[in-house]
């Protein structure tokens, strides 16, 4: 009996699974700021210093914590993760997808590839469903408080994690760089790109969406069901994504039907290739 094909379902987090940027649920209010003011300062810093936008927001988080004399530790981020609000159906989505995968004879793995904060995602109620979470991380000082960005995942840097998933080189360490860059024939890679599905919400996900689509996988742009379809439609018109759907993940939703159909296609292609 041939092995089950493995399907990688990869997600952005902010405005893809949860309804807004994760810092807005708890961190920014804790700094006694409005979201528009915090992000305004981030944009100003980015422009003035010609700085990477992701490093700019992480620096601002450290800076504001010091300014407000608020200690922010790893466990504080985990607590903030509990306050995340999700689009409808997200909390039951993963079990349903895995059940369907089992029914049709494939294996599915879920991954996060996000420019948000890893420690916050790890504190969320859906963290348990992900095989790996790739996101920004902080270093902590001797008191345990955030000190400096350790890992900044900007929009183009996200693509390296797709290759990690593709080759099965998931851990980030010194040795993994050599394994990641070593030539590996496509048919020897753990999860071929044609078995990948990337779900994101906008322009920040374009490098990943386009990469997956170009290599034979499928990309889905989701949009807030209460507004925002135009941006997703533009991505479809520009041939950057395969499908668009409202960010509604409940049973029989449009995105569920799309993902189920893609999974069946992957299964069928795998069966046909077994005859070669």
One digit per residue, pLDDT tens: the chain, 276 residues? 458 999 999 999 999 999 999 999 999 999 999 999 999 999 999 999 999 999 999 999 999 999 999 999 999 999 999 999 999 999 999 999 999 999 999 999 999 999 999 999 999 999 999 999 999 999 999 999 999 999 999 988 899 999 999 998 888 876 677 777 778 877 788 999 999 999 999 878 999 999 999 999 999 999 999 888 899 999 999 999 999 999 999 999 999 999 999 999 999 999 888 887
Neighbours of 128 (CB within 10 A): 8
pLDDT confidence of residue 241: 93
pTM of the complete model: 0.94
Q: DSSP assignment of 98-135, as one string?
A: HHHHHHHT-EEEEEEEEEEEHHHHHTSTTGGGEEEEEE
> What's the chain's Rg over C-alpha atoms?
19
Q: In Å, how far are 133, 142, 166, 177, 211 from 196, measured between CA atoms? A: 16, 41, 8, 22, 10
pLDDT at 274: 83
| Residue-level pLDDT at 178 | 72
Q: Is 139 exposed, middle or buried (0-12, 13-18, 19+ CB in 10 A)?
A: exposed
In this structure, the strands spanning 130-140 and 146-151 are antiparallel
- Find where tokens 């708890």 sit: 26
SS3 of residue 172 by DSSP? coil
Largest CA-CA distance found in the chain, in angstroms, rounded:
65
Q: 19 Cβ partners below 8 Å, 6+ apart?
A: 85, 86, 87, 224
Residue where the block lists tokens 């095989």: 131
pLDDT at residue number 179: 76
- Measured CA to CA, the distance from residue 268 to residue 273 in angstroms comes to 9
Alpha-carbon distance 225 to 250, whole Å?
13
Report the pLDDT value the prediction gives residue 78, as an integer from 0 to 100.
94
243's enclosing H/E stretch is: strand 243-246
Question: Which residue's entry shows tokens 């109620």?
Answer: 125
Position 1 scores a pLDDT of 43
| Phi-psi label, residue 168: left if phi above 0, alpha if psi -120 to 50, beta otherwise | left
Encode burial over 148-176: b for 16+ CB neighbours within 10 A, e otherwise: ebeebbebebbeebbebbbbebeeeeeee
Cα three-residue angle 8-11-12, rounded to 5 degrees: 155
**Interatomic CA distance for residues 252 and 265, integer angstroms:** 18
In the prediction, which pLDDT does 99 show? 97
Phi, psi (degrees; rounded to nearest 5) at 237: -60, -35
């Amino acid at each position: 009996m041939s092995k089950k094909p493995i399907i990688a379902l990869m997600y952005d987090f902010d405005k893809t699974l949860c309804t807004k940027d994760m810092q807005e649920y708890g961190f920014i209010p804790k700094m006694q700021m409005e979201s528009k003011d915090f992000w305004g300062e981030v944009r100003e810093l980015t422009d003035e210093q010609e700085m990477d936008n992701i490093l700019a927001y992480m620096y601002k988080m450290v800076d504001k914590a010091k300014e407000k004399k608020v200690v922010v530790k790893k466990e504080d981020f985990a607590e903030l993760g509990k306050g995340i609000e999700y689009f409808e159906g997200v909390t039951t989505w993963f079990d349903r997808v895995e059940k369907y995968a089992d029914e049709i004879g494939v294996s599915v793995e879920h991954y996060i590839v996000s420019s948000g904060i890893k420690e916050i995602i790890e504190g969320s109620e859906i963290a348990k469903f992900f095989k790996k979470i790739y996101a920004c991380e902080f270093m902590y000082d001797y008191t345990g408080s955030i000190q400096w960005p350790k890992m900044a995942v900007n929009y183009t840097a996200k693509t390296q994690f797709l290759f990690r998933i593709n080759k099965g080189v998931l851990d980030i360490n010194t040795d993994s760089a050599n394994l990641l860059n070593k030539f590996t024939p496509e048919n020897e890679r753990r999860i071929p790109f044609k078995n990948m599905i990337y779900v994101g919400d906008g322009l920040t996900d374009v490098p990943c969406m386009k990469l997956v689509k170009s290599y034979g996988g499928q990309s889905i742009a989701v949009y807030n069901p209460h507004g925002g379809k135009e941006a997703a439609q533009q991505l479809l018109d520009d041939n950057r994504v395969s499908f668009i759907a409202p960010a509604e993940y409940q049973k029989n939703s449009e995105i569920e039907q799309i993902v189920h159909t893609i999974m069946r296609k992957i299964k069928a292609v795998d069966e046909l290739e077994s005859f070669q």
